[in-house]
């Protein structure tokens, strides 16, 4: 059997349940500790794991006691930098939940801290790891689409996100930092780096403080263009949440991801349906299974990277470029103008 890597999960809130269950499915991982500022949450999380899993309410104390290969940081953004830097000081590799940071300065500091101590840093950017997008990447890599020239990534629904995550209604920067980051990562994943961006935002639901809808147009260095759009206030029945729709156009064929994970390849005057439905984990269920299965996939990839001493996808360094797009999108929307993406920022 392959080596087991000893890990700890920091943050035991709503989404971390997917992380915990996914680690259980991966024999190469042994979660030995969990941590949350609310000790009761940590103790509840510990009961999900086999064997003796210690619960903490102080990450610093946990780091002093536990011998860890990695930490899975599933907390809110303000805590990311101190936790990643703490892990780096202890020589522990880190997976960090998105948004990676609220500022480029914090994100760059985390990347530098891990580079200095030689530990790995990955951002838990799971959309690219969803089965339909893994299948789309395989088809693109095969050359079936030819040279890509256009893409659209769309996440629109009317689901009540605020029931399970009420803080989303209170944050000033909402959909771009919540889902836009995922879509920008997909755009970069398929079409490469971005030269310029134009974004417009809307606040449609009166209960939210931030933008709950945005539309961004990206120009890629390759010459391709892409559209990334999100709305949490779309009237659609049945609503597709939490699915993402996508379209990739090449000079040989077009690839289309529709509702219910239906993937279609348009070429040579015909249309072919390709299987892309994710499996439902034993601990999961529809409609969340697409995301739940992707958490297993990305965490398995992380273990591969630890085993092979490989760079994770996306690494912290790579995600700096995605975070730049999100922050630049706010500036573009505020100034109502296109912005040019440059090394380490935008103007």
Per-residue model confidence as pLDDT tens digits over 165-180 = 898 899 999 999 999 9
Confidence of residue 138 (pLDDT cuts 50, 70, 90): very high
Confidence of residue 163 (pLDDT cuts 50, 70, 90): confident
**HEC string for the chain:** CCCCEEEEEECCCCCHHHHHHHHHHCCCEEEEEEECCCHHHHHHHHCCCCCCCEEECCHHHHHHHCCCCEEEECCCHHHHHHHHHHHHHCCCEEEEECCCCCCHHHHHHHHHHHHHHCCCEEEECCHHHCHHHHHHHHHHHCCCCCCEEEEEEEEECCCCCCCCCHHHHCCCCCHHHHHHHHHHHHHHHHHCCEEEEEEEEECCCCCCCCCCEEEEEEEECCCCEEEEEEECCCCCCCCCCCCCEEEEEECCCEEEEEHHHEEEEEECCEEEEECCCCCCCCCCCCCCHHHHHHHHHHHHHHHHHHHHCCCCCCEHHHHHHHHHHHHHHHHHHHHCCCEEEECCEEC
Confidence of residue 51 (pLDDT cuts 50, 70, 90): confident
Mean of the pLDDT values across residues 215-239? Answer: 96
Distance CA 79, CA 91 (A): 19
Residue 3: per-residue pLDDT: 76
Distance CA 92, CA 232 (A): 37
User: Which residue from 62, 53, 1, 45 is spatially nearest to 26, judged by alpha carbons?
Assistant: 1
Helix axes 289-308, 131-141, angle to 10 degrees: 60
Residue 320: per-residue pLDDT: 98
* Sheet bearing 225-231, strands edge to edge: 270-274, 262-267, 254-258, 245-250, 148-156, 225-231, 213-220, 194-202, 339-342, 345-346
Report the share of the chain in percent with pLDDT over 70: 99
- Residue indicated by tokens 């303000």: 78
Residue 286: per-residue pLDDT: 93
Residue 72: per-residue pLDDT: 98
- On the question of pLDDT at 158 being above 70, the answer is yes
User: pTM for this one?
Assistant: 0.96
Task: Give CA torsion, residues 31, 37, 39, 40, to 10 deg.
Answer: -100
The rounded mean pLDDT for the chain is 96
**Residue range 53-78, pLDDT digits in tens:** 999 999 999 999 999 999 999 999 99
Confidence of residue 164 (pLDDT cuts 50, 70, 90): confident
Distance of CA 262 to the CA centre of its chain: 21
- Residue indicated by tokens 């769309």: 154
Of 2-6, 25-29, 97-101, 339-343, which gets the smallest average pLDDT? 2-6
**First and final CA of the chain: distance in angstroms?**
51
Residue 214: per-residue pLDDT: 98
Distance CA 120, CA 331 (A): 31
Residue 161: per-residue pLDDT: 85
Helix axes 181-191, 131-141, angle to 10 degrees: 20
Distance CA 326, CA 302 (A): 24
Confidence of residue 228 (pLDDT cuts 50, 70, 90): very high
User: Domain spans of the chain?
Assistant: 5-119, 128-293+322-346
**Residue range 78-132, pLDDT digits in tens:** 999 999 999 999 999 999 999 999 999 999 999 999 999 999 999 999 999 999 9
Mean of the pLDDT values across residues 180-195? Answer: 98
Mean of the pLDDT values across residues 147-157? Answer: 97
Q: 149 burial class (0-12, 13-18, 19+ CB within 10 angstroms)?
A: middle
Q: Please check whether the two domains, 5-119 and 128-293+322-346, share a CATH topology.
A: no
Fold annotation for 5-119: Rossmann fold (3.40.50)
Confidence of residue 239 (pLDDT cuts 50, 70, 90): confident
Instruction: For residue 58, give every residue at least 6 positions away whose Cβ sits within 8 Å of its Cβ, in sequence order, or none.
Output: 35
The reply to whether omega before 99 is within 30° of 0 (cis) is yes
Which two three-digit tokens encode residue 221? Answer: 């260095």
Distance CA 13, CA 83 (A): 16
Mean of the pLDDT values across residues 182-188? Answer: 98
- On the question of pLDDT at 190 being above 70, the answer is yes
Fold annotation for 128-293+322-346: Dihydrodipicolinate Reductase; domain 2 (3.30.360)
């Amino acid at each position: 059997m392959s080596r087991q890597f000893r890990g700890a999960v920091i943050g035991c809130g709503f989404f971390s349940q997917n992380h915990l269950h996914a680690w259980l499915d991966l024999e190469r991982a042994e979660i030995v500790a969990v941590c949350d500022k609310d000790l009761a949450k940590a103790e509840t999380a510990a009961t999900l794991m086999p064997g003796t899993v210690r619960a903490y309410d102080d990450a610093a104390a946990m780091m002093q006691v536990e011998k860890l290969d990695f930490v899975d940081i599933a907390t809110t953004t303000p805590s990311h930098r101190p936790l990643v830097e703490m892990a780096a000081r202890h020589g522990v590799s880190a997976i960090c939940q998105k948004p990676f940071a609220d500022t480029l300065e914090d994100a760059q500091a985390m990347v530098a801290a891990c580079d200095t101590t030689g530990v790995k840093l990955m951002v838990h950017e799971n959309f690219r790891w969803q089965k339909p997008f893994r299948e789309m990447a395989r088809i693109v890599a095969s050359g079936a689409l030819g040279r890509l020239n256009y893409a659209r990534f769309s996440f629109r629904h009317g689901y009540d996100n605020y029931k399970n995550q009420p803080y989303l209604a209170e944050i000033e920067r909402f959909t771009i930092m919540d889902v836009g980051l995922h879509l920008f990562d997909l755009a970069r994943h398929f079409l490469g780096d971005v030269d310029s961006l134009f974004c417009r935002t809307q606040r449609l639901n009166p209960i939210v403080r931030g933008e709950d809808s945005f539309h961004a147009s990206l120009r890629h260095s390759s010459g391709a263009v892409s559209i990334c759009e999100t709305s949490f206030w779309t009237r659609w029945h049945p609503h597709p949440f939490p699915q993402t729709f996508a379209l990739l156009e090449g000079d040989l064929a077009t690839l289309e991801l529709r509702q219910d994970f239906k993937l279609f390849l348009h070429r040579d005057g015909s249309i072919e349906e390709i299987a892309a439905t994710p499996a439902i984990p034993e601990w999961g269920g529809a409609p969340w299974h697409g995301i739940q299965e992707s958490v297993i996939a990305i965490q398995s990839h992380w273990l591969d990277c630890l085993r092979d001493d490989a760079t994770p996808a996306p690494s912290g360094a790579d995600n700096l470029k995605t975070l730049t797009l999100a922050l630049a999108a706010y500036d573009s929307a505020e100034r109502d103008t296109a912005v040019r993406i440059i090394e380490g920022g935008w103007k």
